[in-house]
């Protein structure tokens, strides 16, 4: 057996190898270094390449799951609408809403891919202009014979392939504008009049335009987005609670000054009473009946009775009630869990961006989280009878082309924030 080499001999071999490699150039370097253990020369294994995903894959899959689930439930909730003479005259068929919803998903997917390619610094530069565009569209939709009037509300613009709702763009525009505003006002965020008042004026202007449609639900979401970003951006807690009190007083005043809004509140308190069961409490009472029929495991996919012309707007505002009837408590809990995970993950991505000193990107992502979380909370609360009836769709699931479009674009922006976070953490530049 050969004698074991002494430590000095092992060191000489190593440095001799290193000098020869340096002379012959780096191309001659082997892919591994020789190591001597126990008197025998062995080689280290090749370093396996580290694979880092370019974006948050679980977030993508949860989003796709909600979109596909929504497509199935929209078809189930709207399949009987063609049997109604009122809708039959309009040319609705069993698959009318399914086809339109599928087309909306295709447009949303393309728009999401485009939005993902836009760097966050570009969104930051264009945030004020996007806000101005949203304001102009909110004005245009109020012009007679331009905006489409449905059930007394003028909220949609005809785009041929879909009816576009400017209030959905206004939500995304407010996310970007509020995040950009907080970055610009970071130095004076402790001063109420210089930091908060201009933002309050912007929210009031948007609110006046939305209430003229009228669309109080969208106004509530936009106000909460602005307040949430102000709070997350570091506005003084006392000022934040003062703003919150003013917002609550403003909404209470609007409800008190509007007879039909007051009726909705009273109907919410007792939807099954003789006075409200066939009036303002009709939707809520049938939503509760649908959820009650579902019990634990539901009556089965497609087996809902309430969607057969009993529950109005079953495929939009009250989609969760159909889920509750057909898939039961289990289906409702799964939906709640998915949206809870989605919101939590979005907020985590925003915090990560702020930790990397990317304040605009972080606040924009968290603004999307506030938007998705709050709107989901309101929609589910209305369907379950925990909140007064309000016309807000369930994000990513309810029928509505412009809502789906802007939801997917907003989540694509969050994925862009996460992508740039990962690039920076790997030592790259964005």
More confident residue, 27 or 394: 394
C-alpha 155/C-alpha 138 separation (Å) is 8
Residue reference for tokens 């919803």 = 101
Per-residue pLDDT reduced to its tens digit, 183-206: 987 776 666 667 777 888 888 899
Task: Look up the pTM and report it.
Answer: 0.84
Q: Is the pLDDT of residue 25 over 70?
A: no
Q: Specify the pLDDT at position 87.
A: 62
Cis peptide preceding 339, ω within 30 of 0: no
How large is the average pLDDT for residues 58-78?
96
Per-residue pLDDT reduced to its tens digit, 121-162: 999 999 999 999 999 999 999 998 888 887 778 888 888 777
How large is the average pLDDT for residues 401-430?
93
Q: What is the mean pLDDT of the chain?
A: 84
Q: Specify the pLDDT at position 313.
A: 84
Q: Specify the pLDDT at position 89.
A: 54
Share of the chain above pLDDT 70, in %: 84
Q: Specify the pLDDT at position 20.
A: 55
* Cβ within 8 Å of residue 113, ≥6 positions away: 412
More confident residue, 27 or 226: 226
Looking at the DSSP assignment, which residues form a beta bridge with residue 67? none
Q: How many residues does the chain have?
A: 430
Position 406 confidence tier, pLDDT thresholds 50, 70, 90: very high
Q: Which of 126, 134, 238 is nearest to 190 (CA)?
A: 238
Give the CA diameter of the chain: 103
């Amino acid at each position: 057996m050969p004698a074991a080499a002494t430590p000095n001999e092992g060191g000489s071999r190593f440095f001799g190898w290193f000098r020869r490699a340096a002379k012959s150039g780096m191309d001659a370097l082997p892919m591994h270094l020789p190591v001597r253990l126990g008197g025998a020369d062995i080689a280290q294994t090749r370093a396996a390449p580290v694979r880092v995903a370019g974006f948050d894959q679980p977030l993508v899959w949860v989003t796709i799951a909600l979109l596909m689930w929504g497509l199935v439930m929209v078809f189930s909730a709207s399949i009987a609408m063609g049997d109604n003479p009122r809708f039959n005259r309009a040319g609705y068929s069993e698959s009318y809403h399914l086809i339109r919803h599928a087309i909306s998903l295709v447009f949303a997917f393309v728009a999401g891919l485009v939005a993902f390619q836009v760097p966050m610094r570009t969104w930051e530069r264009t945030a004020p202009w996007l806000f101005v565009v949203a304001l102009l569209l909110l004005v245009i939709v109020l012009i007679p014979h331009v905006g489409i009037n449905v059930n007394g509300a003028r909220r949609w613009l005809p785009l041929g392939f879909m009816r576009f709702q400017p209030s959905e763009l206004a939500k995304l525009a407010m996310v970007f504008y509020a995040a950009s505003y907080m970055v610009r006002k970071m130095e004076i965020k402790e001063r109420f009049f210089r930091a908060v008042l201009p933002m309050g004026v912007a929210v009031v202007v948007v609110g006046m335009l939305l209430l003229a449609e009228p669309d109080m639900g969208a106004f509530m979401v936009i106000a909460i987005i602005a307040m949430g970003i102000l709070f997350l951006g570091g506005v003084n807690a006392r000022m934040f609670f003062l703003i919150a009190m003013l917002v609550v007083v403003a909404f209470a005043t609007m409800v008190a000054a509007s007879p039909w809004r007051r009726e909705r509140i009273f109907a919410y308190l007792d939807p099954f009473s003789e006075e409200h069961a066939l009036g303002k409490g009709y939707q809520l009472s049938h939503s509760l009946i649908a959820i009650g029929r579902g019990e634990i495991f539901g009556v089965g996919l497609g087996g809902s009775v309430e969607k057969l012309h009993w529950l109005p707007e079953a495929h939009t505002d009250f989609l969760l009630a159909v889920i509750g009837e057909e898939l039961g408590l289990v289906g409702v809990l799964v939906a709640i869990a998915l949206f809870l995970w989605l919101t939590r993950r979005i907020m985590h991505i925003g915090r990560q961006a702020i930790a990397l000193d990317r304040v605009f990107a972080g606040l924009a992502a968290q603004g999307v989280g506030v938007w998705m979380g709050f709107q989901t909370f309101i929609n589910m609360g209305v369907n379950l009878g925990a909140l007064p009836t309000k016309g807000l769709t369930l994000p990513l699931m309810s029928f509505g082309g412009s809502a789906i479009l802007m939801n997917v674009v907003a989540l694509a922006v969050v994925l862009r924030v996460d992508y740039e976070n990962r690039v920076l953490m790997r030592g790259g530049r964005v």
